[in-house]
Amino acid sequence: MATIPAVKQFSDRMGRIEVSATMAVVAEAAKMKAAGADMVEFGAGEPHFPTPQHIKDAAIDAIQKNFTKYTPVPGIMELRTAIVKRHGADFGSDYKPEETVVSTGGKLSLFNAIQVLVDHGDEVILPVPYWVSFKDIIEYAGGRCVYVRTSEADGFRLTADMIERQITSRTRAMVINSPNNPSGAVISSEDHTAILKLAHKRGIYVISDECYVYLNFSGHDFSAGSVTDAREHIVVVGSLSKTYSMTGWRLGYTLAPLPVSNAIAKLQSQNTSSTAHMIQKAAVAAVTGPQECVGQMKAEYIRLRDQILGELARIPKITCVRPEGAFYVYPNVSAYIGRSGIKSAADIAHRLLHEAHVVTVPGEAFGTTEHIRLSYATTPGEITRGLDRMREWFAKLG
């Protein structure tokens, strides 16, 4: 009798990825909230500010004027020109409008860039801690992550030497992220430049995720795009999400040499086409309009960072590197692992969620085992409420 062959349900590549850990935590917390729990949310990486009014007005105006149709795949020229001008003015880069491709969010830009550059078996260097999605996006493309562990004792510093030690004949690219999610670490402009020059010399692409580039508190703003003599191997991933508090609008972009940009546009022509027309019009208003809102939000994040660091310092045995950017703290909670049945940072995040109703993300999602991540993009009152609960909860562990 003929046997019926087993039918597999999904493609092999689906087996290589997980649901984003941050999204999973946020979904779990939302369920608890819907069931009536009073949660304090430090989980999602999302600004708490409303989108500035002039950007909202531009979107409404665009809809009224019927900017509601398909646009060219890489975006309208008005926006591509505005993006490269803004970037040039702020960071000293010299990209042409044709070298930027607008997409439906920084995550899609990153996904497209990695799909375009990384083949099966290629090695991609990934510093740890890393943003959750880097690993999955690389592996989905068939790449193999080669981790570079940074040291907490050294403020999670990343240097060219650390990267050079991991380069092999299979190294195709590296993904770096400064300011960093989850640690808030900023790569110094000297280290950053040395990394870019090393990569260029060795023919390796640097995908520089600069989602938080406008939330750099170190006083030394820096974009990889400014290192023009290594530009052939640099792909800058940008996003309006955090800069202008526009997470839900979904607008990101890449800045890359023309052949890479053309390849990204080719891929995008087969996945999303363009991002929505009225959103692109709003993005023009964001990048060409008044920029005071960006500085005001950044000043508030610095105040919130200082507050949360002060409150964390009141919890015995928790240490935390002072973040120099983004809006996350990444405290080390290892002193509590081994107490009260706790085996991991994931256990701590899980029990904080269910017992203290405080939402955090375990370090395991970012490649480390001793930390939890808290987003402080929230109000000072929520920070106090959440940290009071955490202090009480950790005190009970003894």
Ligand X SMILES: Cc1ncc(COP(=O)(O)O)c(C=O)c1O
Structural contact between residues 150 and 127, judged by C-beta atoms closer than 8 angstroms: yes
Nearer to ligand X by Cβ, of 212 and 394: the residue is 212
Q: Closest Cα to residue 10, out of 144, 140, 143, 145?
A: 140
x-marked contacts with ligand X along 155-184 as a string, rule CB under 6 A: ----------------------x---x---
Q: Which residue is nearest to ligand X (CB)?
A: 106
CA angle 96/99/101 to nearest 5° reads 130
Structural contact between residues 340 and 22, judged by C-beta atoms closer than 8 angstroms: no
Bridge-based pairing of strands 205-209 and 234-239 is parallel
Structural contact between residues 267 and 108, judged by C-beta atoms closer than 8 angstroms: no
Nearest distance from C-beta of residue 252 to ligand X, angstroms: 4
Where does this chain touch ligand X (CB under 6 A) — which range of 10-18, 33-41, 147-155, 239-247? Answer: 239-247
Q: Closest Cα to residue 101, out of 214, 270, 253, 308?
A: 253
User: Would you count residue 45 as binding ligand X (CB under 6 A)?
Assistant: yes
Bridge-based pairing of strands 328-329 and 372-375 is antiparallel
Where does this chain touch ligand X (CB under 6 A) — which range of 103-111, 221-229, 350-358, 385-393? Answer: 103-111
User: Would you count residue 325 as binding ligand X (CB under 6 A)?
Assistant: no
User: Would you count residue 239 as binding ligand X (CB under 6 A)?
Assistant: yes
The strand pairing partners of 40, in sequence order, are 358
Nearer to ligand X by Cβ, of 240 and 320: the residue is 240
Burial class (CB in 10 A: 0-12, 13-18, 19+), 112: buried
Where does this chain touch ligand X (CB under 6 A) — which range of 101-109, 257-265, 285-293, 296-304? Answer: 101-109
Nearest distance from C-beta of residue 358 to ligand X, angstroms: 20
- Look up residue 59 and give its amino acid: A
Q: Can you tell me which of 52, 129, 184, 252 binds ligand X, judged by CB under 6 A?
A: 252
Nearer to ligand X by Cβ, of 178 and 332: the residue is 178
Q: Closest Cα to residue 252, out of 122, 75, 373?
A: 75
Nearer to ligand X by Cβ, of 356 and 367: the residue is 367
Q: Can you tell me which of 186, 211, 213, 235 binds ligand X, judged by CB under 6 A?
A: 211
Contact positions vs ligand X (CB under 6 A): 45, 105-107, 131, 177, 181, 209, 211, 239, 241, 247, 252
